Amino acid sequence: MKATVLVIDDDETIRHFLPRELKAEGYQVLTAESGQAGLQILEKEPVDLVLLDIRLPDLSGIQVLDRIRTQWPEQIVVMLTGEPDHETAVQAMRLGARDYLIKGKPIREELLLVIERELQAQRLGREVQHHRQQKSQKFSREFVRGESPQMQQVYAIVEQVAQSDSTSVLIEGESGTGKELIAHWIHELSARREKPMLEVNCAAIPRELLESELFGHERGAFTDARQQKQGLLELANGGTLFLDEVGEMSLTIQVKLLRVLERMTFKRVGGTKDITVSVRVISATNQNLESMVRGQRFREDLFYRLKVVPIRVPALRERRDDILPLARHFLAQFNRQFGKGFATIDPEAEQILMSYPWPGNIRELRNLFERIVLLSQGDRILSQHLTAAIAPEPRRGESPLGTLRAAFEDGQFPEQGLDLEATLGQIERGIIQRAFDRARGNQSRTATLLQMKRDKLRYRMKLYGFQDNTAADLG
């Protein structure tokens, strides 16, 4: 069912003609013959768009518009008039009318286009607002302030850079360190927080589609471009655009992005009109962009434009003071999510958490607690919960593969026994990492090498939370 339209007009012909045409297009229609009657309907019924006549028997259309703006500031109103009046039209637009149509000419097609355009803009605005609220709520749930000196330095920079709502920021750090949460925190602390923060993972979208995703496209710009599309830069106007894995951008898109940062204008794909925006760009990478610049895989001028303020997020192994607070945060979070009753972490389990190197950083820690809380019972996290999923670093000269081979071929087991599940997990993680490196970070080729479906591979990668650019030691 399409939207509801309220027609406020004292002309009986209009109240007959317009509802018939709108109902034929699938709209629900309400009618009122006076301004007061229209206002009473608005008090009782949800209405998506109002068609309001300028001349009414009790109140003028301008008076009705003013009351609508006072009581329902988000209400869409399109003015109708029998005679063109420039001054009245200007006054109506100043009061917030979306458009101004003349009844004395054939207006069916124009009216339907205006209604659909305004309702589509309303739907898009609601979707963006809903998306922003969801992101803000997710940030509030997932952000926990670290206690380590290293993170205190990061927070100090974040709070300073948030005071400037246009400075570009480059967040660097290994996979899983929380770069996205840092970007959201900058946005939430800035003057742009009431506007949308939109994000795109440049590694997750095919390069040929990324340009359209960022800049939008005009109808007919390419084979599948059946209608005009706004890009993320337009949709984030007034807010923040977060470019994750920015090092994956093609050189062609890098040039266009550089122009946006320099001039804050761009053209849609296939378009000729310059579009001006006000957007703060925050980017993130787990790659060495300076090395990519030297290898001519990333533009030097763009690199310095993005890196006006650099923020390096330390790996979890570099900020061990944060391991236990984060672990307790995730324990509480998944207790609520899964309805479990884990109250504490056993001291021996805490020692294991503190000694583990966390190659997958915070993401690996989070995934670990999600898995443990979901699959386990009890009121305490014990050491055996952890050793089933992670294992201490092997002694020098040993490796998971060597230990497994000795047990399989010669029946030789370590004195303390062999944790088969943990050992197989380490080996599987290492093989996936090696294949990922061999495929130069391409998930489809990695899945082909391992003869796995891509969805299953992505699940495994998330499960192990491994660092993309460091292969595990298979021995």
CATH number at residue 240: 3.40.50.300
This model's pTM is above 0.75: no
User: 166 and 294: one domain?
Assistant: yes
User: 371 and 258: one domain?
Assistant: no
Secondary structure string (H, E, C) spanning 160-187: HHCCCCCCCEEEECCCCCCHHHHHHHHH
Q: Tokens 């609508």 — which residue?
A: 68
For the chain, how many structural domains are there in total? 3
**Rounded distance between C-alpha atoms, residue 25 and residue 123, angstroms:** 18
Q: What is the pLDDT of residue 2?
A: 73
Q: What is 302-353 written as a DSSP string?
A: HHHHHTSEEEEPPPGGG-GGGHHHHHHHHHHHHHHHHT----EE-HHHHHHH
The answer to whether residue 432 sits within a structural domain is yes
The answer to whether residue 374 sits within a structural domain is yes
User: 79 and 35: one domain?
Assistant: yes
pLDDT digits (tens, 9 = 90+) for 91-143: 778 778 888 887 766 667 778 888 888 888 777 777 766 665 665 555 555 55
User: 163 and 180: one domain?
Assistant: yes
**Rounded distance between C-alpha atoms, residue 58 and residue 32, angstroms:** 12
CA angle 287, 469, 179 (to 5 degrees): 50
427, containing H or E segment = helix 420-438
Q: What is the pLDDT of residue 290?
A: 92
Q: What is the pLDDT of residue 229?
A: 81
For residue 312, give the amino acid letter. Answer: R
User: 290 and 161: one domain?
Assistant: yes
Q: What are the φ and ψ backbone dihedral angles of 200, each rounded to 5 degrees?
A: -145, 135
In 25-107, alpha helices (H): 35-44, 61-71, 86-94
User: 243 and 327: one domain?
Assistant: no
What domain range includes position 69? Answer: 4-122
The answer to whether residue 143 sits within a structural domain is no
Contact between 245 and 285 (Cβ < 8 Å): yes
CATH number at residue 379: 1.10.8.60
The strand pairing partners of 266, in sequence order, are 275
DSSP tag of 247? G
**Rounded distance between C-alpha atoms, residue 43 and residue 148, angstroms:** 55
* 428: CB partners within 8 A, 6+ apart: 460, 464
Q: What is the pLDDT of residue 454?
A: 80
Q: What is the pLDDT of residue 469?
A: 39
* 407: CB partners within 8 A, 6+ apart: 413, 418
Q: What is the pLDDT of residue 128?
A: 64
Question: pLDDT truncated to tens, each residue of the chain (475 aa)?
Answer: 578 999 999 888 888 888 888 888 889 999 999 999 999 999 988 899 999 888 888 888 889 998 898 888 888 899 888 776 677 777 778 778 888 887 766 667 778 888 888 888 777 777 766 665 665 555 555 556 778 899 999 999 999 999 988 899 999 998 889 899 899 999 989 999 888 889 999 888 887 789 888 998 887 777 676 777 888 999 999 999 999 999 989 999 999 999 999 999 998 888 888 899 999 999 999 889 999 999 999 999 999 999 999 999 999 999 999 999 999 999 999 999 999 999 999 999 999 899 888 888 898 899 899 989 998 889 999 988 887 667 544 443 456 777 777 777 777 777 677 777 777 877 888 888 888 877 877 888 888 889 888 878 887 787 776 544 333 333 3
Last residue of a domain, one of 107, 122, 137: 122
**Rounded distance between C-alpha atoms, residue 329 and residue 281, angstroms:** 30
pLDDT digits (tens, 9 = 90+) for 71-97: 888 888 998 887 766 777 777 787 788
Contact between 161 and 169 (Cβ < 8 Å): yes
Contact between 4 and 27 (Cβ < 8 Å): yes
Q: What is the pLDDT of residue 301?
A: 95
The answer to whether residue 137 sits within a structural domain is no
Residue 178 tokens read as 């929380």
User: 428 and 344: one domain?
Assistant: yes
Contact between 166 and 305 (Cβ < 8 Å): no
Last residue of a domain, one of 275, 294, 314: 314
The answer to whether residue 129 sits within a structural domain is no
Q: What is the pLDDT of residue 341?
A: 92
Q: What is the pLDDT of residue 135?
A: 59
User: 411 and 347: one domain?
Assistant: yes
User: 253 and 375: one domain?
Assistant: no
Last residue of a domain, one of 122, 139, 166: 122
